[in-house]
Amino acid sequence: MRLLFLLLLIGVQVAAQDVRVRKGVVMDSLPVEGYPDESYSLFFPNGYNSEAANFPVLFIFDGQGRGKAAAQLFKPAAESQNFIIASSNSIDADINILDNVKRATRLIQAVTSNVPVDLKQISVSGFGMGAKVASVIPLLIEDIHGVIAVGDHQLNLDLLKRRDDFYFVGIGGNETVVKHEMAFIVNELNNRGIPGAFITYQGGAEWPHPEVISFALGLLSTQAMREDLRPKNQSLLQQMYSTDLSRVDRLIRDGEAIAAHEFLINLELKYEDLVDLKEIRDKRARLENSADYKEKRLEYDHLLLSELKTNSDYISYFEQDIVTLNFENVGWWNYQVFLLDQKIAGNNPQESAMAHRLKQNLRQMPKVAMANLKDMDPSTEERLLLNMLSTVFDQQDYPAYLNVIRLSAIDGDYATALFYLEELLKNGYQDVDALYELEGTLGLRLTRDFNGLIKKYTGSSRFFNQSL
Give the mean model confidence (pLDDT) for residues 261-265. 97
Superfamily in which the 7-231 domain is placed by CATH = Alpha/Beta hydrolase fold, catalytic domain (3.40.50.1820)
Name the residue ranges covered by the structural domains of the chain: 7-231, 294-458
Q: Residue 195 pLDDT more than 80?
A: yes
The residues pairing with 198 across neighbouring beta strands, listed in sequence order, are 170
**H-type alpha helices, 200-348:** 210-226, 234-253, 257-271, 278-288, 291-324, 330-344
Distances (CA, A) of 241 to 216, 225, 228, 455: 13, 14, 19, 62
Query: In this predicted structure, what is the pLDDT of residue 4?
Result: 43
146 within 8 A of 168, measured Cβ to Cβ: yes
Q: Residue 7 pLDDT more than 60?
A: no
Hey, is 192 helix, strand or coil?
Answer: coil
Give tens-digit pLDDT for 72-83: 999 999 999 999
- pTM of the predicted protein model: 0.89
Query: In this predicted structure, what is the pLDDT of residue 68?
Result: 97
- Single out the residue of 59, 1, 69, 52 nearest to residue 220, CA to CA: 59
193 within 8 A of 200, measured Cβ to Cβ: no
128 within 8 A of 61, measured Cβ to Cβ: no
CA-CA distance, 61 to 111, in Å (whole number)? Answer: 14
Q: Residue 19 pLDDT more than 80?
A: no
Reported confidence tier of residue 161, pLDDT bands at 50, 70, 90: low
CA-CA distance, 391 to 327, in Å (whole number)? Answer: 13
Task: Specify the range with the lowest mean pLDDT, choosing from 122-131, 354-363, 367-376.
Answer: 367-376
59 within 8 A of 123, measured Cβ to Cβ: yes
Give the mean model confidence (pLDDT) for residues 328-350. 96
The distance of Cα 77 from the centroid of its chain, to the nearest Å, equals: 20
Return contacts of 434-440, CB within 8 angstroms, 24+ apart: 434/402, 435/402, 436/462, 438/402, 438/405, 438/406, 438/409, 439/406, 440/406, 440/409, 440/410
Give tens-digit pLDDT for 286-338: 999 999 999 999 999 999 999 999 999 999 999 999 999 999 999 999 999 99
Distances (CA, A) of 283 to 238, 239, 277, 289, 293: 18, 19, 10, 10, 12
Give tens-digit pLDDT for 435-461: 999 999 999 999 999 999 999 999 999
Reduced to 3 DSSP states, what percent helix, strand and coil does the chain have, rounded to the nearest 5?
55, 10, 30
Task: Specify the range with the lowest mean pLDDT, choosing from 42-56, 86-100, 127-141, 450-464.
Answer: 42-56
- Single out the residue of 230, 220, 221 nearest to residue 53, CA to CA: 230
CA-CA distance, 244 to 266, in Å (whole number)? Answer: 10
